[in-house]
Amino acid sequence: MWRKWLCAIGCCSGMAVNAAPLCAASSGTQQMPLIELFTSEGCSSCPPADAWLARQDSSKAILLAWHVDYWNDLGWPDPLSQPAFSERQKQQAGRFAAEVYTPQFMLNGEPVAPGATPVVPPAGTAFKLQAQLTPSAGGWLLHLTGTADRTAPLIYRAVLVGASETHAVSAGENAGRRLRHTHPVLGYWSLPNPIDGYFIARPPNRRPVQLVVWAERQQRIVQAVSVALAGCASR
């Protein structure tokens, strides 16, 4: 079963990680695609989409799985879900007058047609986005630089992404199944501009493995970069 909302109801409005200094990465000058999946452990239609995301090559696209919370009242609370993740989906879908449902894919910020999976176009030229993290008590300080033109303002956002997890589901539409999740989003931030020393808090009881930062222009994602957190432990 899938669950959806019409956007009239409640809607708002290359990751080629170069060998940079420890706790830093650069996007290069080609756009790195960003694929988002909005999913839930309470949705019986979601495991095939979760499996599709797990099969994708993370060197060719940044991959994010957002676990939404609007299934939580239907028999099974998804332990990876957060209200902010549902709001992200509603806002982004609303910007394109699209419906909100699970599973839902987005490519570079734009919703993919229902039932379809993203088809990544050839990489285009984009500005270079560089991110550096400084370990801090309870998290990291983020420093961001780039060479974007100023024809339109940019909005920057960041997420912490966790390691793969497998959960046993005992209620709801997926009762009795063990579900494997890859690229789960653990935390989400809308960033100020400029970004120099913005604090990214480490989530409790979860192990983040990468920080992803992207830039949006006119609702579309125009560049993204991923920083591996191995060897970059917070204090």
pLDDT in tens, 151-162: 678 999 999 999
d(CA 109, CA 216): 8
Indicate if the pLDDT at residue 16 is higher than 70: no
What number of residues does the chain have?
235
Indicate if the pLDDT at residue 2 is higher than 80: no
Residue type, 151: T
Please report, rounded to a whole number, the percentage of residues in the chain having pLDDT higher than 90. 80
Residue type, 75: G
Phi and psi, residue 139, nearest 5°: 170, -145
pLDDT band at 123 (very low <50, low <70, confident <90, very high): confident
pLDDT band at 21 (very low <50, low <70, confident <90, very high): low
d(CA 93, CA 152): 21
Residue bearing the bigger pLDDT, 7 or 189: 189
d(CA 105, CA 56): 13
What's the pLDDT at 146? 83
Please provide the average confidence, as pLDDT, over all residues in the chain. Answer: 90
pLDDT band at 22 (very low <50, low <70, confident <90, very high): confident
Report CA torsion sign: 133, 135, 140, 143.
negative
What's the pLDDT at 5? 42
d(CA 206, CA 189): 17
> In 3-state terms, what secondary structure has residue 49?
helix
Whole-model pTM: value is 0.89
d(CA 96, CA 38): 16
